[in-house]
Structure 1
Amino acid sequence: MTSCQKIRPGANAYAGKQGFSYFEGISRETMGAQAVCMHLLTIPPGGRARAHKHATHETAIYVLSGQAVMFWGERLEHRMETGAGEMIYIPADVPHLPWNPGPDPVTAVIARTDPHEQESVVLLPELDGLVE
Protein backbone atom coordinates (compact mmCIF):
# COMPACT_ATOMS: atom_id res chain seq x y z
CA MET A 1 0.00 0.00 0.00
CA THR A 2 1.27 3.49 -0.80
CA SER A 3 0.82 6.37 1.58
CA CYS A 4 1.22 10.14 1.62
CA GLN A 5 4.22 11.35 3.60
CA LYS A 6 5.77 14.63 4.67
CA ILE A 7 9.25 15.80 5.55
CA ARG A 8 10.58 19.03 7.02
CA PRO A 9 13.64 20.34 5.14
CA GLY A 10 16.55 21.08 7.40
CA ALA A 11 16.43 17.95 9.50
CA ASN A 12 19.25 16.40 7.47
CA ALA A 13 21.69 17.97 5.03
CA TYR A 14 24.04 16.31 2.60
CA ALA A 15 26.94 17.43 0.42
CA GLY A 16 26.13 17.30 -3.28
CA LYS A 17 28.72 16.49 -5.94
CA GLN A 18 28.12 19.98 -7.33
CA GLY A 19 29.76 21.57 -4.28
CA PHE A 20 26.67 22.72 -2.35
CA SER A 21 24.97 21.40 0.78
CA TYR A 22 21.34 20.43 0.22
CA PHE A 23 18.60 19.98 2.79
CA GLU A 24 17.26 16.48 2.38
CA GLY A 25 13.80 16.47 0.87
CA ILE A 26 11.70 14.20 -1.28
CA SER A 27 13.61 11.47 -3.11
CA ARG A 28 13.65 7.72 -3.58
CA GLU A 29 15.83 7.41 -0.50
CA THR A 30 13.60 9.43 1.84
CA MET A 31 10.07 8.77 0.53
CA GLY A 32 10.35 6.01 -2.04
CA ALA A 33 9.67 8.47 -4.90
CA GLN A 34 9.72 6.82 -8.31
CA ALA A 35 10.21 9.71 -10.75
CA VAL A 36 10.88 12.97 -8.92
CA CYS A 37 13.02 14.56 -6.23
CA MET A 38 12.61 17.94 -4.55
CA HIS A 39 15.11 19.59 -2.24
CA LEU A 40 15.77 22.94 -0.61
CA LEU A 41 19.07 24.65 -1.39
CA THR A 42 20.63 27.70 0.25
CA ILE A 43 23.66 29.17 -1.53
CA PRO A 44 25.75 31.36 0.78
CA PRO A 45 27.12 34.70 -0.45
CA GLY A 46 30.02 33.93 -2.79
CA GLY A 47 28.94 30.28 -3.11
CA ARG A 48 29.52 28.69 -6.48
CA ALA A 49 28.79 25.20 -7.77
CA ARG A 50 31.08 23.07 -9.86
CA ALA A 51 30.17 23.01 -13.55
CA HIS A 52 27.86 20.06 -14.11
CA LYS A 53 24.85 18.64 -15.90
CA HIS A 54 22.12 16.17 -15.04
CA ALA A 55 22.27 13.27 -17.49
CA THR A 56 18.83 12.55 -18.96
CA HIS A 57 16.99 14.50 -16.24
CA GLU A 58 15.20 17.86 -16.29
CA THR A 59 15.43 20.40 -13.47
CA ALA A 60 12.94 23.01 -12.29
CA ILE A 61 13.93 25.68 -9.75
CA TYR A 62 11.85 28.21 -7.83
CA VAL A 63 13.90 30.99 -6.21
CA LEU A 64 12.45 31.81 -2.80
CA SER A 65 14.87 34.57 -1.79
CA GLY A 66 18.03 36.30 -2.93
CA GLN A 67 19.68 36.96 -6.29
CA ALA A 68 21.79 34.44 -8.22
CA VAL A 69 23.55 34.06 -11.53
CA MET A 70 23.62 30.89 -13.62
CA PHE A 71 26.03 30.29 -16.47
CA TRP A 72 24.82 27.67 -18.93
CA GLY A 73 25.51 26.19 -22.37
CA GLU A 74 28.07 23.85 -23.88
CA ARG A 75 30.87 26.29 -22.90
CA LEU A 76 28.89 28.12 -20.17
CA GLU A 77 28.61 30.96 -22.68
CA HIS A 78 25.15 32.12 -21.52
CA ARG A 79 24.43 34.09 -18.35
CA MET A 80 21.05 34.24 -16.58
CA GLU A 81 20.32 36.40 -13.55
CA THR A 82 17.53 35.20 -11.30
CA GLY A 83 15.75 36.53 -8.24
CA ALA A 84 13.06 35.78 -5.71
CA GLY A 85 9.77 34.77 -7.27
CA GLU A 86 11.29 33.52 -10.54
CA MET A 87 11.32 29.99 -11.92
CA ILE A 88 14.07 28.38 -13.98
CA TYR A 89 13.88 25.36 -16.28
CA ILE A 90 17.06 23.45 -17.16
CA PRO A 91 16.67 20.79 -19.87
CA ALA A 92 18.36 17.42 -19.42
CA ASP A 93 22.08 17.31 -20.27
CA VAL A 94 22.58 21.11 -20.31
CA PRO A 95 25.85 22.17 -18.62
CA HIS A 96 25.33 24.85 -15.98
CA LEU A 97 27.04 26.54 -13.05
CA PRO A 98 25.08 28.56 -10.46
CA TRP A 99 26.76 31.28 -8.42
CA ASN A 100 25.66 33.66 -5.69
CA PRO A 101 27.59 36.93 -6.04
CA GLY A 102 26.12 38.02 -2.68
CA PRO A 103 25.67 39.81 -0.37
CA ASP A 104 22.66 37.75 0.80
CA PRO A 105 22.02 34.00 0.78
CA VAL A 106 19.94 32.55 -2.06
CA THR A 107 17.29 29.97 -1.16
CA ALA A 108 15.54 27.86 -3.78
CA VAL A 109 13.34 24.80 -4.18
CA ILE A 110 14.84 22.39 -6.70
CA ALA A 111 12.84 19.61 -8.39
CA ARG A 112 14.31 17.06 -10.75
CA THR A 113 13.04 14.06 -12.68
CA ASP A 114 15.78 11.92 -11.09
CA PRO A 115 14.35 10.33 -7.92
CA HIS A 116 17.89 9.69 -6.64
CA GLU A 117 18.84 13.40 -7.11
CA GLN A 118 22.64 12.93 -7.12
CA GLU A 119 22.74 9.86 -9.37
CA SER A 120 22.46 11.81 -12.64
CA VAL A 121 25.00 14.51 -11.71
CA VAL A 122 27.91 14.60 -14.16
CA LEU A 123 30.72 16.94 -13.15
CA LEU A 124 32.36 18.92 -15.96
CA PRO A 125 35.71 20.07 -14.51
CA GLU A 126 36.93 21.17 -17.94
CA LEU A 127 34.32 23.97 -17.81
CA ASP A 128 35.02 25.23 -14.26
CA GLY A 129 37.78 27.63 -15.34
CA LEU A 130 35.62 29.25 -18.05
CA VAL A 131 33.72 31.33 -15.49
CA GLU A 132 35.59 33.67 -13.19
Structure 2
Amino acid sequence: MQKCVKLRPGDTYSGKQGFNYFEGIAKETVGSNKICMHLLTVPPGGRAKAHKHEFHETAIYVISGSAKMYWGEKLEHVMETNAGDLIYIPAGAPHLPFNDGAEPAVAVIARTDPNEQESVVLLPELEKLVPN
Protein backbone atom coordinates (compact mmCIF):
# COMPACT_ATOMS: atom_id res chain seq x y z
CA MET A 1 0.00 0.00 0.00
CA GLN A 2 1.29 3.43 -0.90
CA LYS A 3 1.33 6.04 1.83
CA CYS A 4 0.38 9.69 1.89
CA VAL A 5 3.16 12.06 2.92
CA LYS A 6 3.08 15.59 4.32
CA LEU A 7 6.05 17.93 3.98
CA ARG A 8 6.76 21.43 5.22
CA PRO A 9 9.27 23.33 3.08
CA GLY A 10 12.46 23.85 5.04
CA ASP A 11 15.74 22.80 3.46
CA THR A 12 16.73 24.23 0.09
CA TYR A 13 18.74 22.92 -2.82
CA SER A 14 20.51 24.74 -5.65
CA GLY A 15 18.96 24.14 -9.05
CA LYS A 16 20.96 24.15 -12.27
CA GLN A 17 18.90 27.20 -13.29
CA GLY A 18 20.63 29.36 -10.66
CA PHE A 19 17.87 29.56 -8.03
CA ASN A 20 17.58 27.94 -4.61
CA TYR A 21 14.38 25.91 -4.28
CA PHE A 22 12.68 24.74 -1.11
CA GLU A 23 12.59 20.95 -1.06
CA GLY A 24 9.12 19.75 -1.90
CA ILE A 25 7.28 16.91 -3.55
CA ALA A 26 9.70 14.88 -5.71
CA LYS A 27 10.91 11.34 -6.27
CA GLU A 28 13.80 12.02 -3.90
CA THR A 29 11.61 13.25 -1.02
CA VAL A 30 8.35 11.29 -1.20
CA GLY A 31 8.87 8.73 -3.97
CA SER A 32 6.55 10.41 -6.48
CA ASN A 33 6.46 8.90 -9.96
CA LYS A 34 5.08 11.62 -12.26
CA ILE A 35 5.12 14.99 -10.54
CA CYS A 36 7.19 17.38 -8.48
CA MET A 37 6.16 20.57 -6.71
CA HIS A 38 8.40 23.14 -5.05
CA LEU A 39 8.24 26.56 -3.46
CA LEU A 40 10.52 29.23 -4.90
CA THR A 41 11.38 32.69 -3.59
CA VAL A 42 13.21 34.93 -6.06
CA PRO A 43 14.83 37.92 -4.32
CA PRO A 44 14.82 41.38 -5.92
CA GLY A 45 17.37 41.28 -8.74
CA GLY A 46 17.31 37.46 -8.83
CA ARG A 47 17.73 36.00 -12.29
CA ALA A 48 17.79 32.41 -13.53
CA LYS A 49 20.09 31.08 -16.20
CA ALA A 50 18.50 30.64 -19.63
CA HIS A 51 17.22 27.07 -19.78
CA LYS A 52 14.52 24.67 -20.86
CA HIS A 53 12.99 21.56 -19.32
CA GLU A 54 13.48 19.21 -22.23
CA PHE A 55 10.94 16.53 -21.32
CA HIS A 56 8.47 18.03 -18.88
CA GLU A 57 5.83 20.71 -18.58
CA THR A 58 5.82 23.34 -15.85
CA ALA A 59 2.92 25.05 -14.08
CA ILE A 60 3.55 28.05 -11.82
CA TYR A 61 1.29 29.90 -9.38
CA VAL A 62 2.61 33.29 -8.26
CA ILE A 63 1.77 33.71 -4.57
CA SER A 64 3.24 37.17 -4.04
CA GLY A 65 5.40 39.75 -5.74
CA SER A 66 6.00 40.15 -9.44
CA ALA A 67 8.58 38.98 -11.96
CA LYS A 68 9.22 38.80 -15.68
CA MET A 69 10.02 35.85 -17.87
CA TYR A 70 11.70 35.97 -21.26
CA TRP A 71 10.70 32.99 -23.39
CA GLY A 72 10.91 31.69 -26.95
CA GLU A 73 13.63 30.18 -29.13
CA LYS A 74 15.63 33.44 -28.91
CA LEU A 75 13.97 34.66 -25.68
CA GLU A 76 12.18 37.17 -27.88
CA HIS A 77 8.96 37.30 -25.81
CA VAL A 78 8.54 38.78 -22.35
CA MET A 79 5.75 37.93 -19.90
CA GLU A 80 5.01 40.00 -16.81
CA THR A 81 3.71 37.97 -13.88
CA ASN A 82 2.03 39.12 -10.69
CA ALA A 83 0.53 37.59 -7.56
CA GLY A 84 -2.47 35.45 -8.51
CA ASP A 85 -1.20 34.57 -12.01
CA LEU A 86 -0.95 31.00 -13.28
CA ILE A 87 1.78 30.33 -15.86
CA TYR A 88 2.20 27.32 -18.16
CA ILE A 89 5.55 26.48 -19.78
CA PRO A 90 5.47 23.64 -22.33
CA ALA A 91 8.22 21.02 -22.45
CA GLY A 92 11.23 22.24 -24.44
CA ALA A 93 10.37 25.96 -24.26
CA PRO A 94 13.46 28.12 -23.57
CA HIS A 95 12.87 30.65 -20.79
CA LEU A 96 14.64 32.93 -18.33
CA PRO A 97 12.73 34.30 -15.32
CA PHE A 98 13.96 37.24 -13.25
CA ASN A 99 12.71 39.56 -10.56
CA ASP A 100 13.23 43.18 -11.47
CA GLY A 101 10.94 44.39 -8.68
CA ALA A 102 11.67 45.70 -5.20
CA GLU A 103 10.00 42.80 -3.34
CA PRO A 104 10.68 39.04 -3.34
CA ALA A 105 8.56 37.01 -5.76
CA VAL A 106 7.18 33.79 -4.29
CA ALA A 107 5.71 30.98 -6.41
CA VAL A 108 4.63 27.36 -6.30
CA ILE A 109 6.16 25.40 -9.18
CA ALA A 110 4.87 22.01 -10.36
CA ARG A 111 6.43 19.87 -13.10
CA THR A 112 5.56 16.60 -14.76
CA ASP A 113 8.93 15.03 -13.96
CA PRO A 114 9.43 13.65 -10.44
CA ASN A 115 13.23 14.05 -10.85
CA GLU A 116 12.91 17.80 -11.28
CA GLN A 117 16.50 18.55 -12.31
CA GLU A 118 17.10 15.66 -14.74
CA SER A 119 15.76 17.26 -17.91
CA VAL A 120 17.00 20.81 -17.23
CA VAL A 121 19.11 21.95 -20.18
CA LEU A 122 21.10 25.16 -19.74
CA LEU A 123 21.22 27.49 -22.75
CA PRO A 124 24.20 29.80 -22.13
CA GLU A 125 24.16 30.99 -25.75
CA LEU A 126 20.86 32.79 -24.99
CA GLU A 127 22.16 34.64 -21.91
CA LYS A 128 23.43 37.64 -23.87
CA LEU A 129 20.00 38.15 -25.48
CA VAL A 130 18.42 39.31 -22.20
CA PRO A 131 19.38 42.66 -20.64
CA ASN A 132 20.72 42.59 -17.08
Fold conserved between structures, TM > 0.5: yes
Matched, 1:85 2:84: yes
Letter in 2 for 1:57: H
- Which consecutive unaligned segments of at least 5 residues does structure 1 have? none
Query: What is the SS of the residue equivalent to 2:69?
Result: strand
State the Cα RMSD in Å: 0.4
2:2 alignment partner in structure 1: 2
Equivalent position SS for 2:129? coil
Is 1:31 aligned to 2:50, yes or no? no
- SS of the equivalent of 1:53 reads strand
Shift in Å at residue 56 of structure 1? 1.4
- Gaps spanning 5+ residues in structure 2: where? none
Q: Deviations over 1:97-122 (max 9, x none)?
A: 00000200000000000101111100
Pairs within 5 Å for 1:36-75? 36-75=35-74
Q: What SS does the aligned partner of 2:125 have?
A: helix
Q: Secondary structure at the match of 1:129?
A: helix
- Point out 4+ residue stretches in structure 1 off by more than 2 angstroms: none
Which residue does 2:123 correspond to in 1?
A: 124
TM-score normalized by the length of structure 2: 0.98
In the comparison of the two structures, how many residue pairs are matched?
131
Provide, for residues 33-67 of structure 1, a one-character-per-residue CA deviation record: whole Å limited to 9, x for no partner: 00000000000000000000001100000000001
Secondary structure at the aligned position of 1:49 is classed as coil
Q: How much identity, in percent, do the aligned residues show?
A: 69
- Counterparts of 1:56 and 1:14, CA distance in 2: 21
Distance 2:63 2:38 in 1: 13
